[in-house]
Amino acid sequence: MQNWIKTVVVAVSLALPGVVLAQSLESLVNVQGVRENQLVGYSLVVGLDGTGDKNQVKFTNQTITNMLRQFGVQLPNKIDPKVKNVAAVAVSATLPPMYSRGQTIDVTVSSIGDAKSIRGGTLLLTQLHGADGEVYALAQGSVVVAG
């Protein structure tokens, strides 16, 4: 009887070599220190067709003034730039584990002022910082609104 059971077990084992319980290595292994990293930045979206922040959003005005100053443009003290074509935005992204230099990642751009829409605008060059304050990525380009 035992020989018969052994024969059945061997026969079944040989008959089903293609049946494998497959699982990705990723789901079995957790390498310490290898994880996704959240990145965040602050910038401006420009080129909006009147749908940007209103003048009451002072940090947008301040950001524009500071940016212009970096390019050598001085505005008189009592002049506030008109911001209806500009929106202050937060930019976020997830940096995948084992990323490599030059690899592209998707970013999410969210208005933090009172802009009606950032559709059709252009994100100015944005540094994306990790939790440690280091810059890990740069983002810029046309804003594509999903949905």
| Predicted pLDDT of residue 130 | 95
What is the pLDDT confidence band of residue 5, given thresholds at 50, 70 and 90?
A: low
* Predicted structure pTM score: 0.73
83-120 tens-digit pLDDT: 899 999 999 999 998 888 889 999 999 999 999 999 99
Residue 12: other Cβ atoms inside 10 A: 10
| Predicted pLDDT of residue 99 | 83
- Give 107's contacts (C-beta < 8 A, 6+ positions apart): 91, 92, 93, 128, 139
Burial of 126 (0-12, 13-18, 19+ CB in 10 A): buried
37-87 tens-digit pLDDT: 999 999 999 999 999 998 778 889 889 888 999 999 988 877 777 789 999
The domain locations on the chain are 37-142
